Amino acid sequence: HTYELVAPATIMMSVPLIAGFGVLAFSGFAITSQTGMMSAMIIAIALFCELFLVPPLLLSRRLVDA
């Protein structure tokens, strides 16, 4: 039930952020390029963790009901 409500909003928020910061990776200025690439990777990792790691961890700790 939570995936149906939260996952689409999380994905719709994260994908444009990843794309926006990913565009900065093509900058000719090294610091801007590295910052854009790192930000996009961090947001992608956070999205993955939020969708695939957090729910099983919460269920295993009995913090939420199944």
Output the DSSP codes for 29-52. Answer: SHHHHHHHHHHHHHHHHHHHHHHH
pTM: 0.84
- The predicted-structure confidence for 17-48, as pLDDT tens digits, reads as follows 999 999 999 999 999 999 999 999 999 999 99
